[in-house]
Amino acid sequence: MHAGGSFLQHTHILCAALAAATIVLSKPALAEFQIQEASIEKGETELEYRGAYHWGVPEATDTNPNANDLVQSHEFELQYSPTNWWLLQLTLGTEQPLHEEFEASDVEFETEFALVKRKGDGIALSFQGGYEKSTNGQADGIGFGPIVELASGKLLITLNPLFTDQVGPKRDTEGLGFDYGWRAEYDFAKHWGAGVEMFGGIEDLANAGSFNQQNHSIGPTLFWHPGDNEEESDGKEGKGDADSDKVGGSPEMELSFNVGVQFGLTDATSDTALKFQGSLSF
């Protein structure tokens, strides 16, 4: 995992997957219901799936132009960390908009840099940036912003503010957009946690419209971490620290799952959404 040859091999896999996906995917869409963590561990590879199914999906109209008209979405993500301070991600997305067929939708390449790391309680800070490629004639997109973790005992709060923008000749927004997600998770038992998550976004800050024309949702989430050892579960220990760069050995295999319900807060948001996330890291 830590050898130079292994890093080059992972890089080649990421580049090849990105090139292949760019050929077949269309209609860009930002990652749905994603909370990005600030922890990075050298040599770790992670496979992640995120899915959501919506009920009470709103129609996009002249009075409700920013309606989130997704019936379902599915995202498949590959991560690799060359160092304890740098992470690479490739995400492939599929979706089914209202009254349309299920289809491949987008490909996104992201990178994350750790700025402040923690071990146990305290604050962790990272910075993320990404590029989303469209192949259906729409504008490409970029996103960037901090990732903040606040840990105290069995409580972990994660904040994901993200500025977005459209790029290229097909852009139809005048300024930056803004997406956000935040999570408060409390571990009530070994391997188990419960919490609340909230997501939302404004496509164009220059033409934000009223709150009711924006996408905002909130709801409870149940977490299961069967791969966590007792020390990490009790202490909310980060996955890596600065000293790990000097110590050999491969990251341990870990599983993580969460399932939750999101309730729409505006007319532009679906009434209810069931979300699921599962990841395997090694």
Are 93 and 52 in contact, with CB atoms under 8 Å apart? no
- CA gap 281, 41 in Å, rounded: 10
pLDDT at 56 (0 to 100): 97
Q: What are phi and psi of 143, to 5 degrees?
A: -150, 145
pLDDT greater than 80 at residue 7: no
| CA 5 vs CA 17, 95, 129: distances in Å | 18, 36, 26
pLDDT at 184 (0 to 100): 98
The number of beta carbons lying within 10 Å of the beta carbon of residue 151 is 21
Outline where DSSP puts E strands in the chain. Answer: 45-55, 70-83, 86-97, 103-116, 122-133, 140-152, 155-167, 177-189, 192-202, 215-224, 254-264, 272-281
Taking only the tens place, the pLDDT of each residue in 261-273 is 999 999 999 999 9
pLDDT at 149 (0 to 100): 98
pLDDT greater than 60 at residue 237: no
Bigger pLDDT: 14 or 209?
A: 209
pLDDT greater than 70 at residue 240: no
pLDDT at 252 (0 to 100): 80
pLDDT greater than 80 at residue 16: no
pLDDT greater than 80 at residue 207: yes
For all residues of the chain together, what is the average pLDDT?
84
pLDDT at 172 (0 to 100): 80
Question: If pLDDT is split at 50, 70 and 90, which confidence band does 3 have?
Answer: very low
pLDDT greater than 60 at residue 146: yes
User: Sign of torsion, CA 246 114 30 130?
Assistant: negative
pLDDT at 228 (0 to 100): 63
Average pLDDT over residues 198-222: 94
Q: How is the chain split into domains, by residue range?
A: 4-281
CA angle 200, 29, 71 (to 5 degrees): 75
* Torsion-angle region of 231 (φ positive above 0: left; ψ -120 to 50: alpha; else: beta): alpha
Bigger pLDDT: 137 or 43?
A: 43
pLDDT greater than 50 at residue 208: yes
pLDDT greater than 50 at residue 253: yes
Are 223 and 185 in contact, with CB atoms under 8 Å apart? yes
Token reading at 57 = 């999906």
Percentage of the chain exceeding pLDDT 70: 79
Percentage of the chain exceeding pLDDT 90: 61
SS3 257: strand
pLDDT greater than 60 at residue 279: yes
- CATH code at 4-281: 2.40.160.40
| CA 49 vs CA 24, 73, 122, 171: distances in Å | 19, 11, 28, 29
Taking only the tens place, the pLDDT of each residue in 64-100 is 888 999 999 999 999 999 999 999 999 998 889 899 8
